[in-house]
Amino acid sequence: MNTPISASDRPDSIPVLRLLPKANARAIRRGAPWVFDNELVMDRRTRKIAPGTIAVLEDHDREAMGVVAVNPTSKIVARMLDRNPLAVIDRDWLFAKLTKAVAMRDRMYDKPFYRLVHAEGDGLPGVIIDRFGDTAVIQPNAAWAEMLIEDLADALMAATGVANVLKNSAGRGRTLEGLDDVSTVLRGVAPDAAVPVEMNGAIYMADLTGGQKTGLFFDQRDNHAFAARLSGESSVLDVFSHVGGFALAALANGAKSALAVDGSAPALELAAEGAKRMDKVLDTRQGDAFDVMSALADEKRKFDVVICDPPAFAPSKPTLEKGLRAYERIARLAAALVKEDGYLVLCSCSHAADTNAFTGACLRGIGRGGRRAQLLHTGTAGPDHPLLPQLAESGYLKALFFRL
């Protein structure tokens, strides 16, 4: 019989967190990565632990369960880093994690443009890293990653050979962790222009310092490809297009025309630049997506393929019902713009809206728009966005492909 490990078995001295008797220790042992404040003994000592501190997690019987990152100011007080209670979280540990992440991506992609680290899915909770050739952009959305950001940057350069490492501090996740929103250059230099990225035969222009998120949404790569197959020699409407995601893939694969709609003029300029580099013509229209779709309906416009890829309307449970109503409205407006026997692609990146809830909202909208639908395919994020099966939130992206 193996002797249980306790925090005292470690050669160093780090804090200890202990589960309450009512906590589901079995779920944590089976892979659940988060421990909430109502599952822990939150005494004065625990509450005084500095955000980002590394600690040992023990069950109620004082058996060590692993090494966790602690933030007593967050509802997620502990994030599991390593199931080995004796693990040391340092530059070498980070290098090993990153090396595994790189090896997996390099088996799947022939060019170094992909999501390199997908937070819990790659065993680095709260950490997002997107790679753009010789530049990598880190989003350290957890306090522990902020504390180890210098080691993380060094390990990243050693594991990948990138010359430049940028830190993007925008996003709701950092706010929830009590972190600032100051972005910076950690290593090397920031690109002085948008970076061209080739995917699915299309060229996208990624603004790594002033764009949304890290500059490009790699997660839709496979869904762009599926939509491009449907587009053929047809007309395409891409709503919430950002830098031309679906529209440029469609043009690159034979679509006769594409209209990109977005509220951001700079994003549409980057989309147009991508089309220009492909020797294609992309029509753009800036404005509120709901207003533009209503206007297109008034103009009696119809398209063979309509795609809507909005921001997260339901990022949390309190916003779920309001978000589902917004998705329903999008589906209703978009359905009116699809030709008979045309295709409608509806996407959601909302963590709180699971596939069933999102599908239901879309079908209600399509029905209220007077259309009938076949569901052809349900897409998710690509394999560079691996899921942690014990964390439903890691499977956030849904893309529904309908024929109307």
C-alpha to C-alpha distance for 86 and 65, rounded to whole angstroms: 10
Element (H, E) at 53: strand 53-58
Report residue 115: phi and psi, to 5°.
-80, 120
C-alpha to C-alpha distance for 90 and 33, rounded to whole angstroms: 19
CB-based contact 152:127 (threshold 8 Å) = yes
Residue carrying the six token digits 């309906």: 297
Shortest CA distance to 282 belongs to which of 324, 315, 250? 250
Q: Find the distance separating the first CA and the last CA of the chain, reported in whole Å.
A: 62
Q: Which of 308, 347, 349, 362 is catalytic?
A: 349
Shortest CA distance to 330 belongs to which of 294, 355, 300? 294
* Neighbour count for residue 55 (Cβ, 10 Å): 20
CB-based contact 154:138 (threshold 8 Å) = no
349 part of the active site: yes
Which residues sit opposite 199 in a β-bridge? 202
C-alpha to C-alpha distance for 386 and 79, rounded to whole angstroms: 18
Active site residues: 349
